């Protein structure tokens, strides 16, 4: 009995070892010494990219290559680091996958491109530019930088991004902004839903536009905005807004225009045919 058990365990171990070898995963660890506010670029056609704030003057890249059909190209100068997943002939969405874990100085300027892998970025203070396809893009706990996101149909989630200059363009991906503020927050969606939860900061300009997607903004009673909403779809507000005299003539569709409190921020919610709802946050 013991002999059989030992044998089965051995077979199991060998089988997993064989699978692992067959999978051909290769780990690469890269480190770069950089100056102040370096520029870091990761271009990964297939696979996830996770970027977090690390220590000053150092960029650390850990990459798991899923096969020998893909290799890493890297280049660096004094203050610039580029890492590219280079697909070799025969690579596909499975064999071309590379998983990245990257640490950059908090003030680094970052560019990340991944066609079908999720992108996750957190705790950075520099400028961020990301491009994605159908997978999610998350930016968390960042501040003081430009955040530019382009995606086809992947969901976009920005959470606790403060004092940012934010531009998001999405075709079908839903866009969720939670605790996001800054002097300029612009979301341009085709069919994806736009959801905002927050107080619209102070003296910012918030433009949310969608062709057919719905727009929902949930904000507390103390929020201070001048808001204009318009769509051919349903347009509603939970607030009793103070009327706003406007020189703009609104022809067609449904609309409301008014102010809340001191109206320090400007909010424009435009959809061609989606629903728009300015909701009051409870409690």
Q: Which of 131, 181, 214, 216 binds other proteins (CB under 8 A)?
A: 131
**Alpha-carbon distance 36 to 93, whole Å?**
36
Residues of span 189-208 touching other proteins by CB under 8 A: 190-191, 207
Query: How far is the C-alpha of 61 from the C-alpha of 19, rounded, in Å?
Result: 26
Residues making up the chain, counted from first to last: 283
Q: Distance between CA atoms of 161 and 144, rounded to whole angstroms?
A: 8
Min dist CB 200 to other proteins, Å, is: 16
Pairing state between β 242-243 and 254-260: antiparallel
Q: Which of 69, 120, 150, 193 binds other proteins (CB under 8 A)?
A: 150
Show Cβ contacts of residue 148 under 8 Å, excluding neighbours closer than 6 positions: 127, 128, 129, 130, 166, 167, 168
H or E, element range at 17: helix 2-23
Per CB under 8 A, does 242 bind other proteins?
yes
Query: What's the min distance (Å) between Cβ of 223 and other proteins?
Result: 14
> How big is the site for other proteins, counted in residues (CB under 8 A)?
52
User: Which stretch in 33-41, 48-56, 99-107, 227-235 sits in contact with other proteins by CB under 8 A?
Assistant: 227-235
Q: Does 159 bind other proteins (CB under 8 A)?
A: no
From the list 27-35, 61-69, 117-125, 248-256, the region that binds other proteins by CB under 8 A is: 248-256
273 scored as a contact of other proteins (CB under 8 A): yes
d(CA 8, CA 214): 57
Q: Contact at 8 Å (CB) between 236 and 195? A: no
**CB closer to other proteins out of 34 and 175:** 175
- Using rule CB under 8 A, residue 217 touches other proteins: no
| Tokens at 153, concatenated | 């149909």
Q: Is 62 in the site for other proteins (CB under 8 A)?
A: no
Q: x/- contact string, 93-122, with other proteins (CB under 8 A)?
A: --------------------x-x-------
Find all residues with CB under 8 Å of 163, minimum gap 6, and list them: 143, 144, 181, 182, 183, 201
Taking the complex as a whole, how short is the minimal distance between the CB of residue 251 and other proteins, in angstroms?
5
Using CB under 8 A, pick the residue from 52, 58, 257, 275 that binds other proteins: 257
Neighbour-count burial for 166-196, b at 16+ CB within 10 Å, e otherwise: bbbbbbbbbbbbebbbbeebbbbbbbbbbbb
Q: Which stretch binds other proteins (CB under 8 A): 47-55, 119-127, 216-224, 253-261?
A: 253-261
Cα end-to-end distance, the chain, whole Å? 65
x/- binding map, residues 10-49, to other proteins, per CB under 8 A? ---------------------------------x-x----
Q: Kindly list the residues in this chain that would bind other proteins in the complex (CB under 8 A).
A: 43, 45, 84, 87, 113, 115, 131, 133-134, 150, 152-153, 169, 171-172, 188, 190-191, 207, 209, 211, 230, 232, 234-237, 239-259, 268, 270, 272-273
């Amino acid at each position: 009995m013991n002999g059989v058990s030992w044998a089965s365990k051995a077979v199991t171990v060998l089988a997993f070892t064989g699978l692992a070898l067959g999978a051909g995963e290769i780990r690469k660890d890269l480190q770069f010494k950089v100056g102040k506010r370096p520029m870091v670029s990761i271009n990964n056609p297939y696979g996830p990219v996770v970027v977090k704030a690390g220590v000053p003057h150092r960029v650390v890249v850990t990459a798991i290559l899923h096969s020998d059909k893909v290799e890493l190209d890297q280049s660096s100068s004094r203050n610039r680091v580029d890492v590219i997943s280079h697909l070799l002939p025969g690579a596909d969405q499975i064999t071309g996958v590379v998983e990245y874990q990257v640490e950059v100085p908090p003030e680094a300027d970052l560019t990340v491109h991944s066609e079908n892998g999720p992108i996750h970025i957190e705790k950075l203070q520099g400028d961020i530019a990301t491009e994605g396809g159908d997978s999610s893009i998350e930016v968390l706990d960042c501040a003081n930088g430009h955040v530019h996101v382009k995606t086809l149909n992947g969901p976009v989630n920005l959470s606790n991004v403060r004092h940012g200059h934010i531009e998001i363009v999405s075709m079908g991906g839903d866009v969720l902004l939670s605790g996001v503020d800054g002097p300029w927050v612009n979301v341009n969606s085709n069919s994806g839903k736009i959801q905002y939860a927050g107080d619209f900061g102070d003296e910012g300009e918030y433009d949310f536009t969608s062709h057919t997607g719905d727009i929902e903004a949930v904000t507390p009673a103390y929020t201070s905005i001048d808001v204009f909403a318009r769509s051919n779809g349903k347009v509603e507000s939970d607030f009793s807004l103070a009327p706003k005299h406007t020189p703009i003539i609104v022809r067609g569709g449904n609309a409301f225009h008014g102010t809340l409190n001191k109206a320090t921020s400007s909010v424009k919610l435009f959809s061609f045919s989606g629903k728009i709802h300015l909701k009051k946050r409870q409690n």
